[in-house]
Structure 1
Amino acid sequence: MNTGTDEDPLPDVSKFEENQEEESVSFQIRPCLANKFKCEKVKEVIREVLNEKLKGKTYDVAAAGQWSEEIAVMIKDRVKELNYTRYKLMVQVVLGEQRGAGVVTATRCLWDADSDSYSSEIFTNDTIFCMAVVYGVFFY
């Protein structure tokens, strides 16, 4: 509902106000044990998705970009189903051709070691390697 005049229009914030009323206010600064990011459960989700999407496939440079995007979205959606409330989820997928060379990756970030965590899994076959990482960062 806009109550302003043409000279001084006020933005319509009614939808914002409705959403604010629906959300409960919480000043919890740490996740409770039941809602804490569980690395083993997330690792299982990653493993299932990687096997489902890549098992039996041969590396295809034209399809690799789409595969990695589909895998990332699928992992994110399935981890969301675990209902880690107030966690921001980030998914990184690295997919490449298996040629005998090694791959080294590193990640650095600033986070709370008591509540933030990550889980990773690696898939390999004769022609493909794929590494997927899910980061769960508690949102204060």
Structure 2
Amino acid sequence: MTSWNTMKTRITASVRTTNRMNALLSESMLSRRRAAQNPEGEATGAEAGEPRKEKPKNDWKFFHTNFNMERAQKIIEDCIEERLLWDRFSRNYDSWRALQLAEGLAAEIRDRVKKLNHRRHRIVCLLSIVEKQNQGVYQRMCHLMDEKRDNFTQLVFERPTYFMIVVLYLVYKD
């Protein structure tokens, strides 16, 4: 019975993570579609009486100074090393602790990358911990991204008893 509860917890966490990622990406695509349908000069009936919010102007200099994935990669490495330095999880795999570590570490990475001040981007961090049991790991993800504005980075961290796979997305939201 205990193994089924553990498996059910893993499946639930995986489904929640996938649903959150899909919701964030669809919300981003929906806002882009609305922006394309409503040109800047036109106001719909609901917006006619309200003052328009002024959007920040597109400045490519902003992207060059603020869009550095090498810094995000370094933050991911530092977070993992700091957490595993004092955490006993670095020695052997434990499914319950893996779930807690994945949730906490993903939130910590996301919060630290937010401090880089990516104002125009939504930050999504997916972290998976997979136990090694004499098998390989093959992970595949499909997504639509704007190659000029969206970006991602990934890191595979390997220990004797588990793999840790981190994927960090920056999705443009304007």
- How much has 1:100 moved relative to structure 2? 3.0
Structure with bigger strand share is 1
Q: 1:40 to 1:32 in 2, by over 3 A?
A: closer
1:68 matched to 2:102? The reply is yes
Q: Is the 8 A contact 2:66 2:116 kept in 1?
A: no
Q: Distance in 2 between matches of 1:100 and 1:114?
A: 40
Residue identity opposite 2:156 in structure 1:
I
Aligned to 1:13: none
Aligned to 1:83: 117
TM (normalized to structure 2)?
A: 0.61
User: Percent sequence identity over matched residues?
Assistant: 27
Higher relative contact order (CA 8 A, sep 6+): 1
Q: Distance in 2 between matches of 1:63 and 1:139?
A: 34
Aligned to 1:33: 64
TM (normalized to structure 1)?
A: 0.75
The match for 1:92 among 117, 126, 139 is: 126
- How much has 1:45 moved relative to structure 2? 0.8
Structure with bigger helix share is 2
CA RMSD of superposed structures (Å):
2.3
Q: 1:100 to 1:52 in 2, by over 3 A?
A: farther
Q: Distance in 1 between matches of 2:83 and 2:109?
A: 11
Structure 1: runs of 5+ lacking an equivalent: 1-16
Residue identity opposite 1:50 in structure 2:
I
SS at match of 1:32: helix
1:53 matched to 2:87? The reply is no
SS at match of 2:125: strand
